[in-house]
Structure 1
Amino acid sequence: MARYGFIHDKLEIKFLILYIMARVTEPISFGTLTELTLCDEGIDYFEFAEAVHELVGTGHLEQDKEELFRITEKGLKNGDICQSSIPYSVRVKADKQVAVLNGRLRRNAMIRTGSEPRPGGTFTVRLSLDDDLENILTIDMLAASAEYAGKLEENFKKHAEEIYNAVLGVLLSDYSKDEEEE
């Protein structure tokens, strides 16, 4: 079957993998690397998988105990030398996908959640939001069950910015009219 696209052999796939890995801000999973690399229709999945394995074997990539991949100094050096051989249109597609991923990774790094059991079967849930410099919001809440704690954590991870803005809006509201009526 004919492959359409600009990248056709394993060496070109390796160049693209190094190009992508040099631009991601944090270690990524094999699945995420697959999504980013298969941006060109000419890439065969099995050649891609072999290329990743070979790049780890040659010390261009590292895989940690959580099975996340990161580029090594050797990979950065060799990738920089070879990046001009990647077709421009493929680099543009890869750059767009990496930018989206880096935005998600940056956001996820700024949101922290956790829960601790308390006496009586309840939980303390800690929800934190940081900006680029420091913590901007931390909320400790009581949750009646582990299920409830998990729901609070999940919703905070999905909507941290909205929750921050809602809390800020409530705290900055003018309550003087309510106080005058009392």
Structure 2
Amino acid sequence: MSIVSNKELAENKLILLYIIDKVNIPISNLQITKIILENKFMNYFMLQQLLNELCTSNYLLYKNIDNKAFYTITPLGKQTLSYFTGHIPQGIKSLIDNSISNIRNNIRNETFISAEYTLSGENEFTVSCQVREDNFNLIDLKVTVGTKNDARRICENWKKHSQEIYSEIIESLIKDRIKNTGENS
């Protein structure tokens, strides 16, 4: 069993603070785990231990949103990071800085676009589709379909094309309202 030095523990905590600060939106445990493991910054168990320690020390804030754990950096975490950013290896900072835009976009898409289905009766599936922006529901759509295949296809299409579908729904609703009142657009 390898023993991790205090220097390495501190560096790993700074890496976590750096990523969460740079992302600048709430990040789920799953998302931070994926980033850390894909880049081999540390192992899973170390990551979970350090996240817990950073929350306990008030460097990170833990929120439970829709039964998912999300982390944000606290003012104390930002202040500490500003003092010790130089202790993060330059190669790691560059890697994070160069990929932060993609990371942020992936997190936004994963976090704010959701689609799932449940069996609601014999040969009935309820599909729930959502688009959220900054913890505000733009749309929360539920439809019932007769086959599991239809439910899956709706979920796939929503995840890939939710912005287009949302725009089409809004346009259709506005168009119908104007048409019914006799007004011209």
Is TM > 0.5 for Structure 1 vs Structure 2? yes
Cα shift readout 1:105-160 (whole Å, capped 9, x = no counterpart): 34457757699xxxxx98998978899xxxxxxx9988556763453233121234
Partner of 1:155: 157
Specify the SS of the correspondent of 1:49: helix
Structure 1 or 2: more helix by fraction? 2
In 2 relative to 1, CA 49–162 (structure 1 residues): closer, same or farther, beyond 3 Å? Answer: same
Q: Contact conserved, 1:110 with 1:130, CA < 8 A, in 2?
A: yes
Partner of 2:76: 74
> What letter is aligned with 2:59?
H
Larger radius of gyration: 1
* In structure 2, C-alpha distance between the alignment counterparts of 1:102 and 1:155, rounded to whole Å: 22
* In structure 1, C-alpha distance between the alignment counterparts of 2:62 and 2:100, rounded to whole Å: 19
In 2 relative to 1, CA 10–114 (structure 1 residues): closer, same or farther, beyond 3 Å? Answer: closer
Structure 1 window deviating more from structure 2 (45-54 vs 8-17): it is 45-54
* In structure 1, C-alpha distance between the alignment counterparts of 2:116 and 2:46, rounded to whole Å: 40
Partner of 1:16: 15
In 2 relative to 1, CA 24–141 (structure 1 residues): closer, same or farther, beyond 3 Å? Answer: same
CA-atom RMSD in angstroms: 4.4
Specify the SS of the correspondent of 1:43: coil
* Structure 2 unaligned regions, length at least 5: 118-122, 134-140, 167-185
Count residues with an aligned counterpart.
160
Q: Contact conserved, 1:36 with 1:97, CA < 8 A, in 2?
A: no
* Structure 1 unaligned regions, length at least 5: 3-7, 116-120, 132-138, 165-182
Give the structure-2-normalised TM-score: 0.59
Identity across aligned pairs (percent)? 25
Q: Contact conserved, 1:16 with 1:37, CA < 8 A, in 2?
A: no
* In structure 1, C-alpha distance between the alignment counterparts of 2:34 and 2:115, rounded to whole Å: 27
Mapping for residues 1-182 of structure 1, pairs under 5 Å = 9-38=8-37, 41=40, 43-65=42-64, 66-107=68-109, 143-144=145-146, 148-160=150-162
Specify the SS of the correspondent of 1:63: strand
